[in-house]
Amino acid sequence: MTKGIGCPYGTHRVLEPKGVLPQPAQRIDNTMEIYDNEVLINVQTLNVDSASFTQIKEQAGGNPEKIKEIMLGIVTERGKHHNPVTGSGGMLIGTVEAIGPALEGKTDLKVGDKLATLVSLSLTPLVIDEIVAIRKEIDQVDIKGKAILFESGIYAVIPSDMPENLALSVLDVAGAPAQTAKLVKPGDTVVVIGGNGKSGMLCLYEAKKRAGVTGKVICVGRRAEALEEIKPLGLANEYVLADSTDAVGLMEAVKNVTNGEMADVVINCVNIPNTEMGSILAAKDTGLIYFFSMATSFTKAALGAEGVGRDTTMIIGNGYTKGHAAIALQIMRESDVLRKRFEALYA
Amino acid sequence: MTKGIGCPYGTHRVLEPKGVLPQPAQRIDNTMEIYDNEVLINVQTLNVDSASFTQIKEQAGGNPEKIKEIMLGIVTERGKHHNPVTGSGGMLIGTVEAIGPALEGKTDLKVGDKLATLVSLSLTPLVIDEIVAIRKEIDQVDIKGKAILFESGIYAVIPSDMPENLALSVLDVAGAPAQTAKLVKPGDTVVVIGGNGKSGMLCLYEAKKRAGVTGKVICVGRRAEALEEIKPLGLANEYVLADSTDAVGLMEAVKNVTNGEMADVVINCVNIPNTEMGSILAAKDTGLIYFFSMATSFTKAALGAEGVGRDTTMIIGNGYTKGHAAIALQIMRESDVLRKRFEALYA
């Protein structure tokens, strides 16, 4: 007796409102009995989206028990770890416990494989039985629990040549460096806002690789210490200390290091609100801005560019692009300094 | 005795919070005494952004006196018509009353010129002395009042070969057709969601012109009557009746008219929430989506594409692009049927 075949996108588990996809849904069915085209995962670690975890930590005043309470509350209410304030999720690591019979021959997964889901927690059916440990500094939470991967759900099998927490921390932001690799052309001037953060460092690495010796990569950070720490890694050509919520200040700072020419590509990796305008003013009039930050406001970006008469192209960061896991994991193999820093900070 | 030179972006008029640009500001200085690089405008008509006016009408329950009260309240509180719920503005038409001495030789404007500002009302210092008339169906409000144009503010002088209300209604959404003209290539399959609306019709026209005989332009609307009305204009190759908040339903409908191939370019012109996922599923895996709707949610779009593993490029609609006023006004000269429809509906 099976449950039958569900929708590849998971609409069969949406409880409220009916007819929508699992991500925008208010509440989804997190019963841990799989449909024939689903994968059951024994969850080990949640890597909560940085904007979401920052909000939860703030709401909890940093108190671990309160953090647990908030996280369990979200999952009880919604059937998924979909932060109602930030709208964002994160991803998870776990082991394949069961594969629906309809996926045989369609998936390369085997029971027992260790994998990271590359779809957001904001659409993944999840049950948390217990929160075992919280690693506040790296947005990771170890749990006992289970989750469901839909047929369309993307994932990466954890590579055997690096520790799994390292792989997880990289895969969580895999879209950013992969998109950077596609956007940056030789000779480009590239600004990475929040370049000292996790996704920021990976973007700097890819930007420098693609812009090459004729390009210029500029790392923007708002804490002098953080910039000093990252300088020895050699990921950028210039380091700029600026608060990216101060649009005019950021513009002046970027003007200084580009002889007034500004950036061809601006990559925004800071998970704080009100950095849209700074990103726009840091770019050339015909520049391209890639918003990877989940704190980005659509209207602030759209009206901001119009308000200053800028002809910039502004892209909504898509966490997925073909080969993004391979591109991001490869950085850990290519760059000793980055691997060491990621091991020290996130793994 | 002059007030001196202000910041080209208008930061000198920001009251709260200090240091930001006028658009994100909570409150700006709407004193109608100009700085040396500002233009004073005698305002005749406000063209309120469609998302904003829809919200105001709903809040007012359609009552004109209540609409006036809400609009006056916004301007009194913020010094600009910046809707606190939708975050959006609109634009205005008026006559140049005074030009700051520092702009002499820098601007082609003359006192007495009739112009439309092409920067958002959400950043434009405005005083409303009286609301004279409300044209609810076309989001236009005639007022007695004044406004300020900053040095960086873009505008279009109203052309003499068409009625000014017609020009205004076109200029209000000029960014959409101009961006369409830049994005669509010969042979493309293009879906315009909300193709029967004001910006939608202009986008259809440009899409058909650019995609050419080898392309396919699909108009999506959610009311059968509206689609029947627009068919005789010949703006599209296919007309699809679908509710774009029903992502799966829209996907199936587009699948039907494209032999399952889906769209190269999707242009979203509907000012209602929750159409991000429908836009994504209507596009090819490597398609391009242009969100012109101010009701777009950044996180819903970003997480939506990731959630279904789609490699789509998603662009934040920029209301400004070089030559957008010229491109949009030209449509009224080229297309008799569109000009007649715009005259009937909006002018």
Of A122, A291, A305, the CB nearest to B320: A305
Q: Which residues of A touch B311 (CB under 8 A)?
A: 318, 320-322
Residue of chain A whose alpha carbon sits nearest to that of B18: A246
Residue of chain A whose alpha carbon sits nearest to that of B315: A315
Determine which of A298, A312, A314, A327 to mutate to test the interface with B (most B C-beta atoms within 10 Å).
A298
The better pLDDT of the pair B153, A192 is held by A192
Whether the CB of B248 is below 8 Å from some CB of chain A: the reply is: yes
pLDDT at B1: 60
Of B24, B303, B313, the CB nearest to A300: B24
Whether the CB of B19 is below 8 Å from some CB of chain A: the reply is: yes
Does B174 have pLDDT greater than 70? yes
Contact B313 A310 (CB under 8 A): no
Contact A23 B300 (CB under 8 A): yes
pLDDT at B165: 81
Contact B306 A322 (CB under 8 A): no
pLDDT at A118: 86
DSSP letter string over A136-180?
Answer: GGGTEEEEEEEEEE-TT--EEEPPTTS-HHHHHHHHTTTHHHHHH
**In contact, A93 and A47? CB cutoff 8 Å:** yes
Residue of chain A whose alpha carbon sits nearest to that of B122: A303
Of B23, B299, B307, the CB nearest to A304: B23
Distance CA A345, CA A340 (A): 9
Whether the CB of B175 is below 8 Å from some CB of chain A: the reply is: yes
Mean pLDDT over residues B150-155, rounded?
A: 90
Unique residue bearing structure tokens 């991967």: A149
Cβ pairs bridging A and B (under 8 Å): 183
Length of chain A counted residue by residue: 347
Chain B residues 254-313 with CB within 8 Å of chain A: 274, 276-277, 291, 294, 296-313
Q: How far is A160 from chain B (nearest CA, A)?
A: 24
pLDDT at A104: 87
DSSP letter string over B150-207?
Answer: -TT--EEEPPTTS-HHHHHHHHTTTHHHHHHHHH--TT-EEEEETTTSHHHHHHHHHH
Q: Which residues of B touch A245 (CB under 8 A)?
A: 20
Distance CA A130, CA A145 (A): 7
Residue of chain B whose alpha carbon sits nearest to that of A316: B314
Q: Please state, for a pLDDT cut of 90, what percent of chain B lies above it.
A: 78
Report which of B266, B284, B220 is spatially closest to residue B246, judged by C-alpha positions. Answer: B220
Mean pLDDT over residues B161-171, rounded?
A: 87
Whether the CB of B230 is below 8 Å from some CB of chain A: the reply is: no
Q: How far is A327 from chain B (nearest CA, A)?
A: 15
Half-sphere exposure of A263 (CA within 13 A, CB side): 34
Contact A304 B24 (CB under 8 A): yes
Q: Which residues of B touch A277 (CB under 8 A)?
A: 20-21, 23-24
Q: Which residues of B touch A301 (CB under 8 A)?
A: 298, 316
Chain A residues 41-100 with CB within 8 Å of chain B: 86-89
Average pLDDT over chain B, rounded to whole? 93
Query: In angstroms, how far is CA A322 from the centroid of its own chain?
Result: 15
> For chain A, which residues score pLDDT lower than 50?
none
With b meaning 16 or more CB within 10 Å and e meaning fewer, what string describes A102-132?
bbeeebebeeebbbbbbbbbbbbbbbbeebe
pLDDT in tens, A253-287: 999 999 999 999 999 999 899 999 999 999 998 99
pLDDT band at B289 (very low <50, low <70, confident <90, very high): very high
Task: Report domain extents, chain B.
Answer: 11-158, 175-346
Contact A308 B21 (CB under 8 A): yes
Q: How far is B216 from chain A (nearest CA, A)?
A: 25
Sheet with B263-268, side-by-side order of all strands: A238-241, A216-221, A189-193, A263-268, A283-291, A313-316, B313-316, B283-291, B263-268, B189-193, B216-221, B238-241
pLDDT at B128: 98
Does B125 have pLDDT greater than 80? yes
Q: What pTM does this model have?
A: 0.81
Contact A316 B298 (CB under 8 A): yes
Phi, psi of A93, deg, nearest 5: -120, 145
pLDDT band at B51 (very low <50, low <70, confident <90, very high): confident
Contact A317 B302 (CB under 8 A): yes
Q: How far is A18 from chain B (nearest CA, A)?
A: 10
The amino acid sitting at B321 is T
Distance CA A296, CA A317 (A): 10
Determine which of A252, A316, A322, A324 to mutate to test the interface with B (most B C-beta atoms within 10 Å).
A316
Q: Which residues of B touch A19 (CB under 8 A)?
A: 246, 248-249
Q: Which residues of A touch B321 (CB under 8 A)?
A: 311
Q: Which residues of A touch B314 (CB under 8 A)?
A: 315-316, 318
Contact A319 B303 (CB under 8 A): yes
Distance CA B66, CA B253 (A): 40
pLDDT at B20: 82
Q: Which residues of B touch A312 (CB under 8 A)?
A: 318
Q: Which residues of A touch B13 (CB under 8 A)?
A: none
Q: Which residues of B touch A120 (CB under 8 A)?
A: 303, 306-307
Residue of chain A whose alpha carbon sits nearest to that of B10: A308
Q: Which residues of B touch A247 (CB under 8 A)?
A: 20-21
Determine which of B285, B290, B316, B322 to mutate to test the interface with A (most A C-beta atoms within 10 Å).
B316
Distance CA B340, CA B347 (A): 10
Domain B175-346 sits in which CATH superfamily? NAD(P)-binding Rossmann-like Domain (3.40.50.720)
pLDDT at A22: 92
pLDDT in tens, B190-227: 999 999 999 999 999 999 999 999 999 999 999 999 99
Q: How far is A295 from chain B (nearest CA, A)?
A: 8
Contact A291 B306 (CB under 8 A): no
